[in-house]
Chain A
């Protein structure tokens, strides 16, 4: 099966600092990646996505970087706020059967 993994299960950052959450994927044929945020007691929330023909995509305070050479994906959150505390998942779409494979998640804690 597909393998999408996260380098760090937990991450703590000071409020106002930048956060970087990493994700490794195994299928070089994957063509679409998504980052989700899941707050306690809620469903995952779409943050940002990127297609394999791009290296970088920016959103509001978030940037996703894709390195296809090493099959690595990262999510950068600028000026991290307490409301950013959540579990972050990366998901990979192999475009074969529309299946998405999710990593186990990284728990981000923002220290005030």
Chain B
């Protein structure tokens, strides 16, 4: 158990809908990272927050957004969902902002039908 929690574990929704994925980092970790893992793309970095502020942005679509709250939990919002958004979404956390020693949560499996 990494200490990072993600909810929900599974999510099934229809195209065009909007969903919110939630992540709670390990106690004491200030950074949260979001990743998308699909069969044909591998692990893709989406975005990082550090202590409430956006720190780095990767291959995140404009339809996706994220935020980190004062209690350090983070939410990833996915809107106007398409079939191709079906994937595993992982959250990771680390103590510092440099990305070192990231601890991953169990993931949320999103299925868009």
Contacts and interface: CB of A to CB of B under 8 A. Distances in A.
Q: Do A and B bind each other?
A: yes
A9 to B, nearest CB: 11
Contacts of B103: 46
B45 A100 contact: yes
B55 A46 contact: no
B42 A49 contact: no
B2 A43 contact: yes
B105 A43 contact: yes
Contacts, number: 56
Contacts of A104: 42
Chain B contact-residue range equals: 20 to 34
Given A43-B104, A44-B90, A89 B43 contact: yes
Interface residues of A, number: 22
Contacts of B43: 44, 89, 91, 102
A76 to B, nearest CB: 20
B58 A45 contact: no
Nearest to B91: A43
B42 A93 contact: no
A97 interface: yes
B100 A101 contact: no
A46 B102 contact: yes
